[in-house]
């Protein structure tokens, strides 16, 4: 079956009154109408959070995503698109077209070791001289808007208004609740939302995907209709906690009951049938330490199957609200002159916050969360898919988010709209850093040769080329020690603890996208060549080596404890005073007992 002919493999589309949409879902997308040459295109960039390569219907996923699928059919979908393995570095790369180290956002504050804090490239904010695509387009007369996850700094000079956005309503955290203004992990005391640079409060009827689209529609209505716009929405779907209206999630009640091994195999088979990977390409074994589905109790199986159902429902809810945005643009006559980009920041999230963590269980209860198979994803749900289902979702790739294996880097990307010739899926090597130069070129702009690390996709999108960069040009990624370098058909990769061992490996990614056959010893010359290319990449971009024994799971625990000490110092002081009082009382009692004894 040709992949570009697939309209989606999910369930039928249904609109739900409980989501309080402002507009109904649109029907089939009409053929693009070419605007006048003088009118610059509008841009809508839609960024999902932790979405796997095959999560969308058009990519063979279980979730029903008719609106995003329609964009793919109207334009171009990409089958070899790579992002960084972690959220903020990817977002910095998307907005600037630069390697994450050159932006200043080499990693995220939750996992950075003390040795890297404050070093060049590791300030975790846009450093001086870094220019966003919003700034570039604003200089060309665009109005610029953003809603959703920012996570690129909230200090003076760090919010979207300081980097080219006219209006913004954003979350500066790695994630948050989707129904209320509250944190999803102890690292954050609350959910830090900002509107136009000032702390903001969420409405009582808040649901993240609906609100972010509503807010963007409001912003679009404030500017002149004849002025082009750049609209960037950073969805919370499908970051922890996975949450969605029950009407979206219940239809997937039976979809994942066979477990993660069955899901991983089924996606691998569909990937071959659709041409995502070559026929017969091997599937990697799960990372060491993951559980067998049959080792779980019936209660645990029901819990994880329910969480996956909520995950699929959250994807469908996001698609539903993307449809409302598209309907608005059609209604206002702006659709045909708009270029759409849809992608994900990295692969699926493997965290299981409840794994052996009694303190996390107490924290979730104290914050009104329930981890229960009886909850369908509504307010108070604390849903997560865990490492086993994340590994299944990442199929046919290996591993998942945070790691430089295919499951962490290889994600979906779709572009459609003005100037983009509808065509079969592109297998050209493309990266998150290519988006900013592409948008600037589509807007008619040019840049200095060193302005971007990425390359413009315009020749490919117009049908003039089948490639983006020569095969001999190496492309590197690094976040917190997890690193990869692509060159032609080959990939060099290293992953650190807890799921990696720190060894460099070499794969023929064209024939072995599952990364199952390490060629580092069989092809030592090629291995040495790519290692030299990686060292050059690391030197050019200021990549720092990780401290000996670095483990991201341990580091996030250390950094969270430090944050909690800042957030709850008064409780610690109070506890200390109570303990001192108890100790004083015990000492007085002991002294009194000593005096009472007869000589």
Q: Where are the alpha helices (DSSP H) in 414-500?
A: 435-442, 458-461
Helix orientation angle between 298-331 and 66-74, rounded to the nearest 10 degrees? 50
The C-alpha atoms of residue 457 and residue 435 are separated, in whole angstroms, by 8
List the catalytic residue out of 101, 116, 151, 239.
151
Phi and psi at 575, nearest 5°, equal: -65, -40
Residues near 562 by Cβ (< 8 Å), separated by ≥ 6?
Answer: none
Structure tokens at 223: 């500017």
The C-alpha atoms of residue 326 and residue 338 are separated, in whole angstroms, by 10
Phi and psi at 173, nearest 5°, equal: -160, 165
Residues near 187 by Cβ (< 8 Å), separated by ≥ 6?
Answer: 110, 174, 556, 559, 560, 563, 564
| CA 268 vs CA 281, 284, 513, 570: distances in Å | 9, 10, 11, 52
Q: Sheet harboring 504-508: ordered strands across? A: 475-479, 482-487, 490-494, 504-508
Write the DSSP symbol of residue 44.
E
Structure tokens at 348: 């699926």
The C-alpha atoms of residue 354 and residue 300 are separated, in whole angstroms, by 12
DSSP calls for 290-334:
PPPGGGS-HHHHHHHHHHHHHHHHHHHHHHHHHHHHHHHHHHTT-
Half-sphere exposure of 348 (CA within 13 A, CB side): 30
Q: Which residues pair with 477 in a beta bridge?
A: 484
Write the DSSP symbol of residue 109.
T
Write the DSSP symbol of residue 426.
B
Contact 348/52 with Cβ under 8 angstroms?
Answer: yes
The C-alpha atoms of residue 97 and residue 562 are separated, in whole angstroms, by 33
Structure tokens at 291: 């559980």
| CA 550 vs CA 83, 106, 114: distances in Å | 23, 16, 11
Q: Is 87 a catalytic residue?
A: yes
The C-alpha atoms of residue 227 and residue 184 are separated, in whole angstroms, by 38
Strands 338-344 and 42-48: parallel
Active site residues: 87, 151
């Amino acid at each position: 079956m040709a992949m570009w002919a697939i309209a989606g493999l999910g369930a039928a589309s249904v609109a739900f009154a409980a989501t309080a949409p402002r507009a109904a879902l649109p029907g089939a997308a009409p053929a693009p109408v070419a605007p006048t040459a003088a009118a610059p295109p509008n841009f809508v960039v839609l960024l999902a959070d932790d979405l796997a390569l095959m999560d969308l219907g058009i990519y063979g996923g279980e979730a029903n995503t008719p609106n995003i699928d329609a964009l793919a059919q109207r334009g171009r979908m990409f089958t070899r698109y790579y992002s960084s393995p972690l959220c903020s570095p990817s977002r910095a790369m998307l907005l600037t077209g630069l390697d994450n180290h050159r932006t200043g956002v080499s990693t995220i504050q939750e996992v950075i070791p003390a040795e890297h804090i404050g070093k060049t490239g590791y300030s975790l904010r846009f450093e001086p001289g870094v220019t966003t695509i919003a700034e570039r387009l604003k200089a060309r007369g665009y109005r610029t808007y953003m809603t959703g996850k920012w996570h690129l700094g909230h200090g003076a000079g760090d919010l979207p208004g300081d980097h080219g956005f006219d209006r913004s309503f954003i979350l500066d955290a790695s994630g948050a609740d989707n129904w209320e203004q509250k944190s999803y992990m102890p690292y954050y005391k609350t959910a830090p939302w900002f509107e136009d640079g000032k702390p903001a409060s969420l409405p009582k009827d808040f649901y993240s995907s609906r609100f972010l689209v509503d807010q963007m529609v409001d912003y679009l209505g404030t500017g002149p209709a004849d002025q082009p716009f750049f609209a960037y929405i950073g969805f919370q779907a499908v970051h922890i906690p996975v949450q969605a209206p029950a009407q979206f999630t219940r239809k997937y009640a039976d979809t994942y009951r066979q477990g993660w091994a069955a899901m991983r195999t089924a996606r691998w088979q569909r990937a071959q049938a659709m041409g995502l990977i070559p026929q017969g390409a091997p599937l990697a074994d799960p990372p060491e330490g993951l559980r067998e589905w049959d080792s779980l109790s019936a209660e645990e199986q029901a819990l994880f199957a329910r969480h996956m159902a909520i995950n699929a429902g959250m994807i469908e809810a996001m698609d539903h609200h993307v449809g409302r945005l598209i309907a608005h643009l059609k209604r206002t006559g702006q659709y045909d002159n708009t270029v759409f980009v849809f992608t994900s920041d990295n692969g699926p999230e493997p965290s299981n916050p409840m794994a052996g963590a009694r303190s996390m269980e107490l924290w979730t209860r104290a914050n009104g969360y329930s981890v229960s198979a009886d909850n369908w994803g509504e307010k108070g749900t604390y849903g997560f898919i865990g490492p086993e289902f994340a590994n299944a979702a990442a199929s046919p790739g290996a591993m998942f988010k945070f790691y430089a294996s295919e499951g962490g880097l290889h994600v979906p990307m779709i572009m459609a709209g003005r100037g983009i010739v509808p065509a079969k899926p592109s297998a050209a090597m493309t990266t998150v850093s290519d988006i900013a130069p592409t948008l600037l070129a589509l807007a008619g702009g040019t840049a200095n040769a060193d302005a971007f690390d990425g390359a413009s996709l315009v020749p490919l999108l117009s049908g003039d080329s089948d490639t983006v960069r020569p095969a001999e040009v190496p492309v590197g990624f690094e976040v917190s020690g997890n690193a990869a370098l692509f060159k032609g058909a080959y990939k060099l990769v290293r992953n650190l603890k807890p799921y990696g061992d720190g060894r460099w490996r070499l794969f023929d990614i064209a024939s072995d996208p599952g990364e199952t056959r390490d060629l580092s010893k069989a092809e030592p010359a090629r291995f040495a060549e790519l290692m030299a290319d990686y060292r050059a990449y690391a030197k050019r971009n200021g990549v720092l080596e990780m401290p000996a024994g670095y483990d991201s799971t341990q580091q996030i625990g250390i950094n969270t404890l430090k944050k909690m000490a800042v957030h709850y110092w008064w409780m610690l002081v109070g506890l200390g005073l109570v303990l001192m009082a108890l100790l004083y009382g015990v000492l007085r009692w002991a002294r009194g007992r000593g005096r009472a004894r007869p000589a």
